[in-house]
Each structure stands twice: as structure tokens, then as C-alpha cells.
Structure 1
Amino acid sequence: MRLTTRTNLALRTLMVCAVNPDRIVRKSDVAVAINASENHLAQVVNQLGQSGFITTMRGRHGGFTLARPAEQISVGDVFRTFESDLPFIECFSADNTCPLKGVCRMSAHLTRAVEAFYASLDPLMLGELVDCNDGLEAILSLDEGTRMARAAHCTHQGSARVN
């Protein structure tokens, strides 16, 4: 199985928003942070907004933020949103022209396998990918203040776990 570039960009965009929770994120900032084309990113941001993952704001000071806390965004939901309209194999397609159509038993097994893949990602939340991940924050944090505040939070969380 291979994920599309759009799914990859969607997850990275959500990570940027999660690492910068108190900031309106701009598409241009995300494009630089994740090494993506702004034009391609525009399509992804649009779909993230339409799907309720981010809240978008128009205008001169516009941009986007997470629509809900990172701890409530399932990676499985994100992947399904971006991958479900693309058939995994021809027999999943509405215009299936496979000569084995109707007699092949493989499609039922592939359906279960694809669903198992998504189901394994359902309990994984965006917050788990970014929380106290210093390396990720160093790359995706858009300002020094955010980096410092999150570092203090993680230090506090780490000492709370020790006790």
C-alpha cells in the first residue's frame, strides 16, 4: 500500500498546526516548513477545512488552526478522508473492467486488509505524534515562543511522570 502525497501533506500540515496551537498558521509558512508546493498545499488545506480538521480564516491576517484539540484528531480519520476516494485496486473502482470480476475471491480479503490498516490508525491521535517531540518541534515550530512554551510543558510532564 502506498499513501498519496496529499495524505502525507495533510498529516504534516496538521502537525504544523498542532506544534503551533496558539497561532494562526499560514499556507506559505507550512509550505516552507514541510518542503511542499503552495499550490498543492492549497488543495490539501481546502480539503482539511471542508472535512472539519482545521478552521480557516480568510483575509489579510487569515490562515488556519486546528478545529479541535490534537488529542481528538484520529490519524485513521485523516487517512480515510484523503485516501478513501482512491480505489486501492481496480476491483474497488466503480469502472472495474477486470476480466475476473464476479469470480475472484481476492477483493473481499483486500477489503478487510485495507480496513484493518485504517482501523490500526484510528486510535492514534495527532497529539501523540507531536506531544513532547523535541525534534519535530524544532523543525515545525514557527516561532521561538512556541518552542519555549512547549519545552517547558514537556519538562513539567516528564517530571510529573517520574513522581
Structure 2
Amino acid sequence: MRLTLRTNLAARVLMFCGVNRDETVRSAQIAEATNASGNHLSQVIHQLQQMGYVETRRGRGGGLSLARDPGAISIGAMFRDFEANVPFTECFDPDNNNCPLSDTCRLNGYIKGALSAFYAELDKVTLQDLIHDNCGLIDLLSLYPEPAAGTCQAAQVRA
């Protein structure tokens, strides 16, 4: 199984915005920190904005930020939003299914069950779960790498 690049980039954007949730961030900052193409990232940010995950502001001082609390962003729902138009296998796409086994194949039922289990597991995860006390992620994505009082970095230094 492989996720589309758009879904992968959407997760990166949300994690970057989550780590820097008190800031308005720019797509160039996200691209640099996440090793992503600026062009691809712009398309993904536009989709995230249309789906209500981020808010965008144009002009001087513009950028983007989370539109919802990280605890209210389901990773399973976001994956479904981005993967919904991409059939997992040919037989799941009625318009382009050329498989002669479709009417008698039992594999597609097992694949559907596996995909349901996959999404059920991701439905348990929020953006907050991915970023809270994740010092490694915070170190990589924070706009301000200096430890601030109360962050997990500062807590690790004191420990």
C-alpha cells in the first residue's frame, strides 16, 4: 500500500502548522522544513483550505494556520479526504475496471476489509496525537528552535 504524495504532503503541512500553531506560517517555510516541492505544496495547501483544515491569508503578513484545534483534526478523515478519488485497486473503479475476475474474485472483499481496518486505526489518531510532546518533530519543524519554558525540549533539558 502506498499513499499519494498529496496525502503525505497534507500530513506534513498539518504537522508543521500544528507545531507552530500560534504563528502564521508561509508555504516556503513548510517546503524547506519538510523537503517538499513548493508547487506541489501550494496545491495541497489550497485543498486543505477548501476542506477546512487550514485558513489562508493573502498579502503582507499572510500565510496559513490551522482552522481547527489539533485535537479536532482526525488523521483518518484527512486521509479519506485526500485518497477518496484514488481507487485502491482497479476493481474498485467501476469506470475503469477491466479485470475479468471481478465478478468471482474474493480478494477484493479482503482488500475492502483491510482498508476498513486501516482507516479505523487512523480514525483513532488526531493531529494532537502526532505533535504533542513529540520533541523530535518539534525540533525539526519549529520556527523557533530555541527551547521555551514549558515545551518538551525544555522538559528534556531539565530531566
TM-score above 0.5:
yes
Q: How many residues align?
A: 155
Q: Does 1:84 align with 2:84?
A: yes
Unaligned runs of 5+ in 1: none
User: Over the residues paired in the alignment, what is the CA RMSD in angstroms?
Assistant: 1.9
- Normalized per residue, the structure richer in helix is 1
Q: State the distance in 2 between where 1:55 and 1:66 align.
A: 6
Q: TM-score, normalised by structure 2?
A: 0.89
Contact 2:17 2:65 in 1 (8 A): yes
Unaligned runs of 5+ in 2: none
Q: State the distance in 2 between where 1:150 and 1:28 align.
A: 28
Deviations 1:139-162 (A, max 9, x none): 1001247x515517974xxx9xxx
Contact 1:132 1:150 in 2 (8 A): no
Percent of aligned positions with the same letter in both sequences?
A: 48
Q: State the distance in 2 between where 1:149 and 1:15 align.
A: 21
Q: TM-score, normalised by structure 1?
A: 0.87
Which aligned pairs between 1:51-66 and structure 2 lie closer than 5 A?
51-66=51-66
Q: Which moved more, 1:35-44 or 1:101-110?
A: 101-110
Letter in 2 for 1:100: L
Point out 4+ residue stretches in structure 1 off by more than 3 angstroms: 152-155
Aligned twin of 1:100 = 101
Which aligned pairs between 1:109-128 and structure 2 lie closer than 5 A?
109-128=110-129
